Structure 1
Amino acid sequence: MKIIVVLFIASIVTFNNAKPIDDSSQAQILKYENENIGINNFKFAYETSDGVSRQEEGELKNEGSEDEALVVRGSVTWTSPEGEVFTLNFVADENGYRATGDHLPQPPVV
């Protein structure tokens, strides 16, 4: 009988500890910024109660020239269900999309 009670209590403790950190479907917006700096520029940022934050800005370079390119820079941060915080930084421009983050695999050094 004691073993059954101990197993029952252990299962309740395990179940309670297995709950997600926060329910993303119930997340609240804590911060929101949106700026249209000009016709060819933008900037926005937000943060939610489930630990997600994102910021991004973009501008049109060399407007009207043969080298015209949209440049976008930003980052996004989130927390995994295990409680680990990840940040992804990115740049997208005439050279393509490049992302960096400590959690991303690194290419071999040649």
Structure 2
Amino acid sequence: MKMIIALSALVAIAVAAPQGQFAKDNDANAVVVKYDSDNIGIDGYNFAFETSNGISGQEAAQLNNPGTDNENLAVRGSYSYTGDDGQVYTVNYLADENGFQPIGKHLPVQP
């Protein structure tokens, strides 16, 4: 369960990181301007953040089927960032017993 949480956070951070010289210069001076977190214990958690360079994200998790063989943590969230082309990219995702499932207008869709 903790591995799913850690993995989803690392994936979100890695994918949200914009590339290019402008982004690198802007990111070097970025600061967190908003952070909210509520760790509600073993039943789940939620958090949200915004940075001065336009990156934002939010995530909420809920424990499903507690105490059973099918116990799992369902994580829903999203993150946004501005790409090198000036466009804002947003990814919504679900991570649960079926894996990490991202959705975004810029992402390919399975046939």
What TM-score does the superposition give when structure 1 sets the normalisation length? 0.75
The match for 1:54 among 33, 36, 57 is 57
Match of 2:22 in 1: 20
Distance in 2 separating the partners of 1:66 and 1:39: 16
Please give the secondary structure, in 2, of the residue aligned with 1:27.
Answer: coil
Question: What fraction of aligned residue pairs are identical, expressed as a percent?
Answer: 46
**SS at 2:85 equivalent:** coil
Greater Rg, structure 1 or structure 2? Answer: 1
**Higher share of residues assigned helix:** 2
1:84 maps to 87
| Deviates further, 94-103 or 20-29 | 20-29
Q: Which residue of 2 aligns with 1:37?
A: 40
Q: Normalised by the size of structure 2, how large is the TM-score?
A: 0.75
CA RMSD of aligned residues (A): 1.5
What are the Cα deviations for residues 18-49 of structure 1, in whole angstroms up to 9, with x where unaligned?
x7266111012111001012332100010001
Aligned residue for 2:69, secondary structure, equals coil
Deviation string for 1:27-80 (max 9, x for gaps)? 121110010123321000100011100100111111110111110010010001
Greater RCO structure (CA 8 Å; 6+ sep)? 2
Q: Which runs of 4+ in 1 moved over 6 A?
A: none
Q: Which residue of 1 aligns with 2:17?
A: none
**1:71 matched to which residue of 2?**
74
Task: Give unmatched runs, 5+ long, in structure 1.
Answer: 1-18
Q: What is the aligned partner in structure 2 of residue 100 from structure 1?
A: 103
